[in-house]
């Protein structure tokens, strides 16, 4: 969201004059003025702002309506902190904004106020095509004079009827927080269930009646680090479910089973097959005699014939369209694609189940309480018939009650049926069945299912020029990544761009003499690049010696941990991987090996790296294998990970020394 709003700032700047025209001198309210006088605590010198005061007040009515007040007060420290001068919230048919104001307390001079009437209505920032949608909009207020040293504050009041009576208090930010308060007011007889994440439990204070308040102070910022778990997965937060006496249809979730029942109810009847769907399934059955062939045909149909289009308004963010409508119009979002495929499988006599999941691993863990907002994607778990036993179905997992389930994403058009992309592996999703739901850990595939096998046969000239042929075979995510980049490419020259990028990062100069791509559209086969090159001056002269780097192409080392500041969060890899290089270089006539780099062998629980340079006749042969085995590296292993990358970097720089024969 922060990136989205930074991108949207340019839009607001162009109409800033209109906003400032409505700016008036007026005293800020007492809670803003009081915060403006708070001393600035110790903080990271790179912090752009400090959240001095945060207050969220949630009042639940007996009929399920929820009134909310949000107050924030920031001290701007650096020019980058101006982004906090934009107060914004959304509204739709189920949620309305009843008040919106902002203030600036400058270091010198009078306070400024921006009133509700000066707010702007815009389409959803950062959402493609949102300007065409009128059902959900955003309202924005830009607070004036958000300069370093000044204090700004805002207040937003809303009313809504939530689909589920839950709230989420995310009080830890990417900037320091001095004080944050959450107040909950419930009708008589109502109860609540509070679950803390990434923070010690804080007992609430009763403020009279059925009203409670939680207060936290001096909350440190979370600095965003490369390849860290998702912000939501590491930030301190509080999830509260509202529980009316006797229960209500939209009461807060107490467990995953309740959330699964809610999701199942939303999809009730949506998977019923129309005559057109039945006809399509019959055609598939006539062409494919086996259950595996029929499932693959249905998967290809969903991946390539049903366009991905997401229009998620209101409950449409969670409820799929009817399978008949999806089939008829030939488009839908992830829920729709999963629904249509489930409908087709049912007609084949094959059961399947929804899995709601977050596409960023670490966003949901076994400690996460059930809440509808955790997930942003929907895929399928397909119950494999007893006669389907195929080694290509590597994304299958065994369930204690349901048997063998194949995890498949009908939205992912670049991953073959039976496989699973890395970001979903070892991830947690909500498995939805007729009996409810449960949190399920998805399988992690073997590293060998995703990787690059690169082989090169080259000749080295006495002038240092190397030339020859290279074959690059990619599977899993390594293949899908390139297929995605080349999905709309039509010319042969553009299809070899990934190879040119690779060569440019590894060679000072080169010339491609031939290049072809194979299996670009066939996701059931490895993607292949075959090319020939000439690289002048690859080997460097040192007197009468030739120095050659055996590692011709590709970089596996990383400067991820080579920073001045100590790492604060674990490292999350995208997926398991196993890359293998074999480079053979025929030596020039009249030269022999004087010195070879030593072998490299490093093996940790999360990954391994092995390389060897040897002489086979008149050929220098370099082989190496790079493997990532665990997808999460905890802080306790950061020193090992740093050493791992440093060892790889050293090996990649090593050179072999050639000397003239006597």
Same domain, 202 and 292: no
Query: Mean pLDDT for each 10-residue chunk of the chain (662 residues)?
Result: 38 40 70 90 86 97 95 96 92 90 92 88 63 70 92 96 94 96 96 95 93 96 93 95 86 93 95 97 96 96 92 79 96 95 98 96 93 93 95 96 97 95 96 94 97 98 97 97 92 90 94 94 95 96 96 95 92 97 97 96 98 96 98 96 98 97 90
Beta-strand pair 49-60/177-185: parallel
pLDDT at residue number 16: 42
Return the H-helix or E-strand segment holding 614: strand 607-616
- Taking phi over 0 as left and psi of -120 to 50 as alpha, with beta for the rest, 660 belongs to beta
Same domain, 243 and 319: no
Please give the Cα distance from 363 to 572 (Å, whole number).
11
Last residue within a domain, chosen from 389, 416, 441? 441
Same domain, 426 and 550: no
Same domain, 503 and 427: no
- Contact status, residue 449 vs residue 384, Cβ threshold 8 Å: no
Range(s) of the domain holding residue 647: 448-660
Same domain, 425 and 485: no
pLDDT at residue number 249: 77
- Contact status, residue 330 vs residue 276, Cβ threshold 8 Å: no
Give, to the nearest 10 degrees, the angle between helix 334-347 and helix 291-305. Answer: 150
Residue 331, SS3 per DSSP = strand
Same domain, 271 and 246: no
The DSSP result for 214-257, as a single string, is EEEEEEPP----TTPPPHHHHS-EEEEEEE-TT--TTPPPSSHH
Structure tokens at 490: 């039509």
pLDDT at residue number 248: 76
CATH number at residue 523: 2.60.120.1130
Residues 6+ apart with CB under 8 A from 437: 256, 257, 258, 259, 260, 261, 263, 264, 430, 431
Which residue reads 């989205």 in tokens?
Answer: 4
Same domain, 177 and 308: no
Last residue within a domain, chosen from 252, 275, 305? 252
Please give the Cα distance from 564 to 471 (Å, whole number).
39
Same domain, 630 and 559: yes
Same domain, 187 and 100: yes
In the chain, how many domains are there? 3
Q: Is 617 exposed, middle or buried (0-12, 13-18, 19+ CB in 10 A)?
A: exposed
pLDDT at residue number 250: 82
Last residue within a domain, chosen from 213, 232, 252? 252
- Contact status, residue 408 vs residue 395, Cβ threshold 8 Å: yes
Q: Is 356 exposed, middle or buried (0-12, 13-18, 19+ CB in 10 A)?
A: buried
Q: Is 7 exposed, middle or buried (0-12, 13-18, 19+ CB in 10 A)?
A: exposed
Please give the Cα distance from 38 to 468 (Å, whole number).
69
Same domain, 385 and 422: yes
CATH number at residue 263: 3.10.620.30
pLDDT at residue number 126: 56
């Amino acid at each position: 969201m922060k990136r989205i709003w930074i991108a949207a700032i340019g839009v607001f700047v162009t109409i800033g004059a209109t906003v400032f025209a409505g700016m008036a001198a007026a005293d800020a309210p007492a809670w803003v003025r009081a915060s403006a006088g708070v001393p600035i605590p110790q903080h990271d010198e790179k912090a752009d702002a400090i959240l001095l005061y945060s207050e969220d007040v949630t009042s639940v009515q007996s009929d399920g309506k929820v009134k909310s007040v949000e107050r924030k007060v920031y001290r701007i420290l650096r020019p980058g902190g101006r982004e906090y001068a934009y107060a914004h919230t959304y509204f739709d048919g189920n949620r309305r904004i009843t008040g919106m104001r902002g203030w600036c307390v400058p270091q010198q001079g009078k306070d400024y106020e921006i009133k509700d009437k000066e707010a702007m209505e815009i389409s959803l920032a950062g959402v493609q095509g949102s300007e065409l949608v009128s059902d959900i909009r955003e309202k924005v207020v830009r607070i004036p004079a958000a300069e370093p040293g000044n204090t700004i504050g805002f207040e937003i009041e809303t009313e809504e009827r939530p689909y589920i009576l839950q709230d989420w208090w995310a009080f830890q930010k990417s900037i320091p927080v001095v004080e944050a308060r959450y107040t909950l007011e419930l009708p008589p007889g109502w109860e609540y269930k509070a679950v803390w994440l990434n923070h010690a439990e804080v007992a609430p204070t009763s403020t009279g009646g059925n009203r409670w308040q939680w207060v936290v102070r001096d909350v440190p910022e979370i600095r965003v680090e490369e390849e860290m778990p998702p912000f939501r997965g590491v930030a301190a937060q509080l999830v509260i479910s509202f529980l009316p006496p006797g229960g209500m249809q939209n009461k807060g979730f107490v467990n995953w089973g309740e959330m699964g029942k809610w999701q199942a109810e939303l999809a009730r009847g949506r998977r019923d097959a129309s005559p057109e769907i039945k006809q399509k399934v019959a055609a598939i059955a006539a062409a494919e005699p086996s259950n595996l062939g029929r499932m693959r045909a249905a998967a290809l149909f969903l991946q390539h014939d049903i366009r991905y289009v997401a229009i998620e308004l209101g409950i449409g963010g969670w409820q799929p369209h009817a399978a008949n409508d999806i089939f008829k119009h030939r488009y839908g979002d992830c829920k729709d694609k999963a629904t249509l495929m489930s409908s087709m499988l049912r007609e084949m006599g094959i059961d399947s189940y929804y899995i709601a999941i977050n596409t960023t691993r670490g966003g949901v863990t076994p400690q996460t309480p059930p809440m509808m907002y955790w997930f942003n994607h929907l895929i399928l778990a397909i119950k494999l018939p007893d006669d389907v036993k195929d080694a290509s179905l590597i994304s299958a997992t065994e369930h204690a009650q349901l048997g063998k389930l194949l995890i498949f994403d009908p939205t992912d058009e670049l991953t073959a049926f039976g496989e699973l992309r890395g970001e979903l592996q070892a991830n947690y999703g909500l498995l939805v069945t007729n009996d409810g739901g449960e949190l399920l850990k998805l399988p992690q595939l073997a590293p060998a299912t995703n990787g690059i096998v690169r082989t090169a046969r080259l000749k080295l000239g006495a002038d240092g020029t190397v030339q020859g042929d290279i074959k690059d075979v990619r599977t899993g995510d390594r293949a899908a990544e390139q297929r995605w980049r080349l999905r709309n490419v039509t010319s042969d020259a553009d299809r070899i761009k990934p190879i040119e990028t690779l060569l440019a990062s590894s060679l000072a100069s080169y010339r491609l003499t031939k290049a072809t791509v194979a299996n670009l559209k066939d996701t059931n086969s490895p993607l292949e690049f075959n090319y020939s090159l000439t690289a002048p001056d690859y080997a460097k002269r040192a007197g009468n010696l030739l120095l050659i780097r055996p590692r011709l192409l590709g970089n596996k080392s990383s400067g991820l941990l080579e920073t001045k500041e100590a790492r604060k969060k674990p490292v999350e890899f995208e997926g398991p991987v196993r890359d293998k290089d074999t480079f053979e270089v025929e030596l020039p006539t009249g030269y022999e090996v004087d010195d070879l780099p030593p072998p490299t062998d490093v093996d940790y629980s999360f990954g391994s790296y092995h390389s060897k340079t040897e002489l086979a006749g008149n050929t220098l042969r370099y082989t190496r294998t790079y493997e990532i085995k665990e997808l999460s590296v905890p802080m306790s292993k950061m020193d090992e990970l740093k050493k791992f990358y440093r060892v790889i970097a050293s090996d990649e720089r090593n050179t072999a020394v050639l000397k003239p024969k006597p």
